[in-house]
Amino acid sequence: MQLSQLPLYIVDAFTDTLFKGNQAAVVPLDCWLPESVMQSIASENNLSETAFFVKNDESIFEIRWFSPLKEIDFCGHVTLASAYVIFNHLGEKETISFWAKAVDTIEVHECENGLIEMSFPNREPELVTDVPEALKTGLSITPLEFYKNQQAYFAIYANEDDVKNVVPNLEKLKTLAPLDVVVTAPSVAYDFTSRYFWPANGGVEDPVTGSIHAGLAPFWVKRLGKEKLVALQASKRTGVLYCRVEKERIFISGNCVQYLQGSISIDY
């Protein structure tokens, strides 16, 4: 056993206003902790995700993401928050690279307008013709159609009021694991809006979900016929994401606001 002091940052991602967006915990490491310790830290933080990263010999930041329940394959908002920490506290500037097994390399760039832009793989969803019963009956408002990618089912609605008013049956949606459920529609003030339910993987409703926009952006680019889109995630905290699509890459940008800088005292 050894006593360690680990740096901890909590950042509100996909917002320029404190207490909005999605809270993300970021823990930079010199070397990897045991997986059980990282999961315990994430559970103790009790935020949507906690990110841990280690800079390797090629100056790439290997990153892992943990919800309070489990390690997950891909998380956008805490990657954005991690980049914010690296740019503002760890001396890196302009462009960095993350690496994770499920998504390979994620290039991240500081924009002149203050946004941080991430390059994700294109995860465009496909139409679902054989819809699971739990999905049909797990949303209080019936969608127009359903799509699916490797992360979630997409429930498509005609208008943003349906997205804002739909009530999920969490017990039914939980049975769709490992997939989550995103509900989405065109928006009046933005290009499109969404909400994200993930009872099987992290919690009830995620405040802002960067990863799912790697599927939402290419879907709505085709539907709306626009090259660049501004998206609202209509959770209670809300978040704004700036999206563009270039062939096999999806570029998602957002702002960040730091809430806390501290340390974790831990024996392991």
Using one digit for the tens of pLDDT, what is the confidence trace for 89-117?
999 999 999 999 999 999 999 998 999 99
- Residue 236 and residue 131 share a domain: yes
Same domain, 138 and 46: no
- pLDDT recorded at residue 202: 77
Residue 162: per-residue pLDDT: 98
Q: Locate all alpha helices (DSSP H) within 4-127, ordered by sequence.
A: 35-45, 77-89
Range of the domain at 158: 126-246
Average pLDDT, whole number, for the chain? 96
Rounded alpha-carbon distances, angstroms, from residue 52 to 8, 26, 143, 192: 10, 6, 37, 31
- For residue 90, what pLDDT is reported? 96
The percent of residues above 70 in pLDDT, for the chain, comes to: 99
Q: Let me know: does 268 contact 33? Beta carbons within 8 Å.
A: yes
State whether 94 and 137 are in the same domain. Answer: no
Residues 67 and 175 grouped into a single domain: no
105 lies in the same domain as 161: no
Report the pLDDT value the prediction gives residue 3, as an integer from 0 to 100.
67
Q: Give 177-225 pLDDT, tens digit per residue.
A: 999 999 999 999 999 999 999 998 878 999 999 999 999 999 999 999 9
Domain match, 161 and 174 both: yes
* Structural domain total, the chain: 2
Is there a single domain that holds both residue 180 and residue 103?
Answer: no
Is 58 considered catalytic here? no
Structure pTM? 0.95
Q: Which of 35, 44, 49, 246 is catalytic?
A: 49
Same domain for 148 and 109: no
Residues 77 and 101 in one domain: yes
Identity of the residue numbered 190: Y
Nearest to 14 by CA among 255, 260, 242: 255
| 89 plus 148 within the same structural domain | no
| Confidence at 42, pLDDT banded by 50, 70, 90 | very high
User: Measuring CA to CA, how many Å separate 142 from each of 72, 145, 170, 176, 182?
Assistant: 29, 9, 15, 17, 13
DSSP structure string for 146-213: EEE-SSEEEEE-SSHHHHHH--B-HHHHHTTTT-EEEEEEE-SSSSEEEEEE-TTTT-SEES--TTTH
Residues 121-144, mean pLDDT to the nearest whole number: 97
For residue 226, give the CATH number of its domain.
3.10.310.10
- pLDDT band, residue 66 (cuts 50/70/90): very high
Same-domain check for residues 141 and 113: no
Lowest mean pLDDT among 67-71, 160-164, 195-199, 200-204: 200-204
What phi and psi values does residue 129 have, to the nearest 5 degrees?
Answer: -100, -30
> pLDDT (tens digit, 9 = 90+) per residue, 77-89?
999 999 999 999 9
Q: How many CB atoms lie within 10 A of CB 205?
A: 18
Do 55 and 90 have their domain in common?
A: yes
